[in-house]
């Protein structure tokens, strides 16, 4: 009998892995509080596989953990539940820390109190743990210029002068989060690793780039920029793009992410720490343009607006994921955005309703 617990299992990524998990494990429970910012209604999401039991509750609730673990001992825990608004986390730091950090420790305390040691944890960490990451000058010297200051952004100095951003790589890029959200995701990594090492379990960590695709919440204004672009383009509007539109991102398709998480959940490896992206960076304006072209909307326009805490560039290498998880991304941005638009147009299964 193998049991899998997925915290945040009714969300975008949780629903996308639910069918495969239901086939792989004897019993799967999704623990999710159906957060109103993510879920339009408190109904069970239609995209959650029928064979997954949904337990509605909050990961910070000690009593809930007690009753759940009394009847269900997970062999594998996939820890997805989180407050995920990067910009929001600057003004709602306590809420982010409470769910992401205390929620994680509550789960671990509840497991320890009952002597339950899952074989494996999988953590969906984030590119946000790197902050601005490493940059390189023309002589090849690598530095960590840190966070862009408000005065830099106000004067529209978007890049660090004379430097070029390097792609993130989990075994070489230092972690220097520039958002509260990123700091809490890094804390989750350290907490899970420390617990797993102490109790003879393992913590496989995947650091996700920007995930998008069918099933994403269309009602959450704090996440999912590609779905926002697609909705604006569908309305025939010119998409407004921040800064100078040249921020680089690595948009990775939900099905590729689902395969990576499943691989991390079922591998015999105990030391996975890998970046999950496409390995290809694209500027935000070009992403907006793909959506505009699909719907025949006018070209996107640059607004020079900015958000504190947004990093300038974020992309990753996928070599570690290939080596550790035998995983490769399969969907290009063009194909993925087309699939997302098709899903938006046809109103298929959703995680947010
Ligand atoms: N989607 C991305 O681009 C992305 C990128 C990097 C990392 N991640 C990480 O992946 C994980 C899942 O992301 P997602 O895109 O599926 O997000 P999502 O918001 O769709 O799903 C998160 C789920 O967690 C639930 N949840 C939130 N707070 C909870 C709480 N206190 N108790 C119980 N459940 C709670 C929500 O109801 C939601 O169903 C998160 O940990 C996030 O940090 C996502």
Q: For every residue of the chain, which 3-state class applies, written as one string?
A: CCEEEEECCCCHHHHHHHHHHHHHCCEEEEEECCCCCCCCCCCCCCCCCCCCEEEECCCCCHHHHHHHHHHCCCCEEEECCCCCCCCHHHHCHHHHHHHHHHHHHHHHHHHHHCCCCCCEEEEEEEHHHHCCCCEECCCCCEECCCCCCHHHHHCCCCCCCCCEECCECCCCCCCCCCCHHHHHHHHHHHHHHHHHHHHCCCEEEEEECEEECCCCCCCCCCCCHHHHHHHHHHCCCCCEECCCCCCEECEEEHHHHHHHHHHHHHCCCCCCEEEECCCCCEEHHHHHHHHHHHHCCCCCEECCCCCCCCCCECCECCHHHHHHHCCCCCCCHHHHHHHHHHHHHHCCCCCCC
Looking at residue 15, which CATH number applies to its domain? 3.40.50.720
Query: Which ligand 1 atom sits closest to the C-alpha of 13?
Result: 16
**pTM for this one?**
0.96
Q: How far is the CA of 130 from the centre of ligand 1 (A)?
A: 19
Q: Report the domain count for the chain.
A: 1
Indicate whether 350 belongs to any domain.
Answer: no
How many C-beta atoms lie closer than 10 Å to residue 183's C-beta? Answer: 22
pLDDT along the chain (353 residues), means of 10: 95 98 98 94 95 98 98 98 90 96 98 98 98 97 93 95 96 95 97 98 98 87 85 95 96 98 96 97 96 97 90 96 98 96 81 60
**Of 2, 170, 4, 183, the residue nearest 79 (C-alpha):** 4
Neighbours of 154 (CB within 10 A): 9
Cα three-residue angle 290-291-296, rounded to 5 degrees: 100
Strand order in the sheet with 273-276: 53-56, 27-32, 3-7, 76-79, 120-126, 203-208, 273-276
Instruction: Among 10, 11, 186, say which to mutate for ligand 1: greatest number of ligand atoms within 8 Å of CB.
Output: 11
State in Å: Cα 38 to ligand 1 middle.
8
Per-residue pLDDT at 218: 78
Distance from the CA of 161 to the center of ligand 1, in angstroms? 35
Residue 80 CA, ligand 1 centroid: distance in Å: 5
pLDDT for 351 equals 61
State the residue range of the domain holding 91.
3-345
Is residue 352 included in any domain, yes or no?
no
Bridge pairing between strands 282-283 and 248-249: antiparallel
Q: How far is CA 297 from CA 187, 232, 292, in A?
A: 42, 9, 5
* 32 Cβ neighbours under 8 A, 6+ residues apart: 7, 8, 9, 10, 11, 14, 54, 55, 56, 57, 81
Which structure tokens are listed for 297? 């909307």
Nearest CA owner, ligand 1 atom 21: 11
The residues that are catalytic are 181
Pocket test for ligand 1, best of 6, 41, 82 (most atoms within 8 A of CB): 82
d(CA 289, CA 294): 9
Report the distance separating Cα 272 and Cα 190, nearest Å.
13
Ligand 1 environment, Cβ below 6 A: 8, 10-14, 32-35, 38-39, 58-60, 80-84, 99, 103, 124, 126, 185, 208, 210-211, 217, 351
Instruction: Tell whether 351 is covered by a domain.
Output: no
Q: Is residue 96 part of a domain?
A: yes
Give the whole-angstrom CA distance, residue 189 versus residue 259. 20
pLDDT of the residue at 222: 67
In angstroms, the Cα distances linking 215 to 118, 226, 233, 255, 332 are 29, 12, 18, 10, 18
Q: What is the spatial distance between Cα 111 and Cα 77, in angstroms, rounded to a whole number?
A: 11
Nearest one of 40, 36, 111, 43 to 79, comparing CA atoms: 111
Answer whether residue 228 is part of any domain. yes
* Confidence at residue 189, expressed as pLDDT on a 0 to 100 scale: 98
C-alpha to C-alpha distance for 21 and 19, rounded to whole angstroms: 5
State residue 19's pLDDT score: 98
Task: Measure the CA–CA gap between 263 and 189, rounded to whole angstroms.
Answer: 18
Best probe residue, ligand 1, of 12, 62, 168, 204 (max atoms within 8 Å of C-beta)? 12
How many A from CA of 7 to the centre of ligand 1? Answer: 9
């Amino acid at each position: 009998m193998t049991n899998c617990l997925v915290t945040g299992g009714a969300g975008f990524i949780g629903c996308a892995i639910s069918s495969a998990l239901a086939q792989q494990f004897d019993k799967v429970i999704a623990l999710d509080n159906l957060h109103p910012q993510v879920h339009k209604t408190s109904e069970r999401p239609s995209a959650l596989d029928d064979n997954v039991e949904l337990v509605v509750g909050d990961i910070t609730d000690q009593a809930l953990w007690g009753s759940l673990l009394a009847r269900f001992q997970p062999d594998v825990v996939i820890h997805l539940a989180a407050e995920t608004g990067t910009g929001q986390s600057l003004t709602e730091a306590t809420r982010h820390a409470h769910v992401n950090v205390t929620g994680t420790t509550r789960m671990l305390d509840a497991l320890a109190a009952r002597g339950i040691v899952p074989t494996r944890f999988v953590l969906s960490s984030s590119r946000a743990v790197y902050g601005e990451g490493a940059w390189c000058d023309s002589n090849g010297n690598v530095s960590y210029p840190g966070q862009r200051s408000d005065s830099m952004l106000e004067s529209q100095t978007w890049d660090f002068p004379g430097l070029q951003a390097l792609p993130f790589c989990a075994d070489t890029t230092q972690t220097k989060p520039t958002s509260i959200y990123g700091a809490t995701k890094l804390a989750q990594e350290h907490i899970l690793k420390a617990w797993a090492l102490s109790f003879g379990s393992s913590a496989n960590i995947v650091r996700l780039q920007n995930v998008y695709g069918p099933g994403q919440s269309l009602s959450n204004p704090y996440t999912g920029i590609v779905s926002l672009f697609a909705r604006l383009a569908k309305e025939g509007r010119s998409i407004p793009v921040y800064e100078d539109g040249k921020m680089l991102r690595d948009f990775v398709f939900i099905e590729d992410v689902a395969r990576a998480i499943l691989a991390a959940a079922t591998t015999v490896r105990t030391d996975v720490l890998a970046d999950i992206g496409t390995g290809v960076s694209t500027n935000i304006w070009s992403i907006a343009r793909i959506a505009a072209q699909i719907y025949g909307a006018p070209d996107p326009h640059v607004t020079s607006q900015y958000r504190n805490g947004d990093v300038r560039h974020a992309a990753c290498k996928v070599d570690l994921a290939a080596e550790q998880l035998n995983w490769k991304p399969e969907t290009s941005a063009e194909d993925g955005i087309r699939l997302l638009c098709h899903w938006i147009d046809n109103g298929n299964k959703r995680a947010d309703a």
